Amino acid sequence: MEHLGWLSIIPPLLAIIAAIVTKNVIISLFLGSFSGVLILTKGLPLTATKTMIGDYLFVQLTDSYNAGVLVLLVFIGGFVALMEKSGGAAAFAEKVIKYLNTKSKTQLAAWFGGIVIFFSDLGTPLLIGPIFEKVFDKAKISREKLAWIIDSTASPVAVLIPFIGWGVYIMGLIQKEFEGLSMAESDWDAFIQAIPYQFYPILTVLMVPLVAFTKLEFGAMAKAEKRVKETGALYWPDLKPMRKPDRFSELKETKSKPILIWLPLLVLLVTLFGMLIPLGFPFQKIEGSAFRVALTTAYLFAGILLIVMMVFYKVKKFGEAFDIYISGMQKMMYVAATLVLAWSLGTVMKNLGTANYIVEIMDGNVPAFIVPAILFLAGACMSFATGSSWSTFAIMMPLAIPMAFHLDASIYVCIGAVLSGGLFGDHCSPISDTTILSSTGAGSDHMDHVKTQLPYAILNGSAALAAYLVAGLVATTLSLAVAIVIMVFAVIFISKWQNKSNTGTPMNT
């Protein structure tokens, strides 16, 4: 297999180190890409710079597939900004809050609200948190529990949805590797096939109703719940909540209607599937370009409708709504730059033969069934250290897919392992943006949120790791059932063990 030996692993290693040091995905991806080009150009800095710009960055921008993805991301950004500013989520929640007369219903309502705001992982904490914080206080449920719920319905939900920014970004990474391996399968089909193997995000989302229904709590979360129940104190002594009062007051003052959240989403889905079904969806393969055109059209129509509704219901004036839309489009430039650099790094690693070198080392030394577990652990460590799942995806996907292809491991399982590992580390990391925003949205002390969430995350991560060992042996969706069973029994056992330790009575089994 063609490769440049140990030199070929310098770009991904440098990208990882830079991401840990700088906490900046753009800088880390650029340094990784440039170092690879420098190796390919025999260490000539000026030639490497010209080659990087002309043969990598420009080429990525002029590729028709890439251009379609970037245009789609711009329309997604505009729509998401409108949804966040429309106040529809707050209006919808206020209609539901009056029915929340038990702790279980209150927790499930916040969980459901987080799932409804699937279109924005960063918007979920700042929309759901301020809406439900007073309801949780009244029900004597800890702010730490609220932070855990909204953190569990932010990125863990977003990574499972193929037609929002997360899915588009991930499919862009998948497609590049498929092209390099001359695989005919579409990125959409691969993403859908990999969803059942995204064990960690699925377990994280499912654990919330499990805990709400069964009242099984453990670790620091159980202590926080006991504190609120017995003393009514929202925080431990000398701890400070994370807050953004201006953002909260803006959300609460927005006079809106529930229709501003459900109707645009309905129009989006009807437009999308209305354009895809005549092409044979979901029974026939849909060309990637047709899917991107349909999705871009759906977001455009939904965005136009939302602007009209915001003006009609006097939520915003037309000029204000349009400015919000354009501002949301502009914010996607960071994502677009990340994706272009990720594509460039993937191309550089392909030209260096990075995956070939790793496969050559592993072939015969590491059994194929353990590859998904290795990818999961590597992704988890990387995202925990960097606080970024997206940079983890960008670095790991160009390695994982060729490895799976050449080592005869399941590509779908390996894609799921990369995505799960990235989410697991991100969910545990105190420097993750969603972790910080969840503390902010819930009005919780940040490190308290990290400490109370960590035991749940580690339990789910352990269950996911076990399931990847099973899926590596037999690539079947039944491995997801294995992960769920492990999670349920572990929660029950740990909760009973903790109750035994607290009361000194024998544990019932």
Q: Does the pLDDT of residue 506 top 70, yes or no?
A: no
At 121, give phi and psi (nearest 5°): -65, -35
Taking the CA of residue 501 as centre, how many other CA atoms within 13 Å lie in the half-sphere pointing to its CB? 10
What percent of the chain shows pLDDT beyond 70?
A: 93
Banded pLDDT at 242 (limits 50, 70, 90): low
pLDDT digits (tens, 9 = 90+) for 186-228: 888 899 999 999 999 999 999 999 999 888 888 889 899 999 9
Q: Does the pLDDT of residue 502 top 70, yes or no?
A: no
Taking the CA of residue 334 as centre, how many other CA atoms within 13 Å lie in the half-sphere pointing to its CB? 10
pLDDT digits (tens, 9 = 90+) for 443-496: 888 889 989 999 999 999 999 999 999 999 887 878 999 999 999 999 888 877
Banded pLDDT at 276 (limits 50, 70, 90): confident
Q: Does the pLDDT of residue 247 top 90, yes or no?
A: no
Q: So what's the pLDDT on residue 507?
A: 39
pLDDT digits (tens, 9 = 90+) for 44-60: 999 999 999 999 999 88
pLDDT digits (tens, 9 = 90+) for 311-364: 998 899 999 999 999 998 998 888 888 889 888 988 898 899 888 888 888 876
Q: How far apart are CA 505 and CA 13, in angstroms?
A: 52
CA distances, 399 to each of 236, 328, 505 (Å) = 44, 32, 51
pLDDT digits (tens, 9 = 90+) for 369-417: 899 999 999 999 988 888 888 888 999 999 899 989 988 889 999 999 9
The dihedral formed by the CA atoms of 409, 413, 416 and 420, expressed in degrees to the nearest 10:
-90
Q: How far apart are CA 484 and CA 209, in angstroms?
A: 13
Banded pLDDT at 505 (limits 50, 70, 90): very low
pLDDT digits (tens, 9 = 90+) for 76-104: 889 888 887 888 877 776 777 777 778 89
Q: So what's the pLDDT on residue 270?
A: 93
If we measure between CA atoms, which residue out of 142, 112, 135, 138 comes closest to residue 124? 112
Q: How far apart are CA 466 and CA 265, in angstroms?
A: 37
Q: So what's the pLDDT on residue 252?
A: 52
Q: Does the pLDDT of residue 26 top 60, yes or no?
A: yes
Q: So what's the pLDDT on residue 198?
A: 96
CA distances, 193 to each of 189, 279, 287, 416, 425 (Å) = 6, 20, 16, 9, 23
Q: Which residues contact 10 (CB under 8 A, 6 or more apart)?
A: 35, 36, 39
Q: How far apart are CA 326 and CA 45, in angstroms?
A: 38
Q: So what's the pLDDT on residue 210?
A: 93
Sole residue written with tokens 């996907």: 397
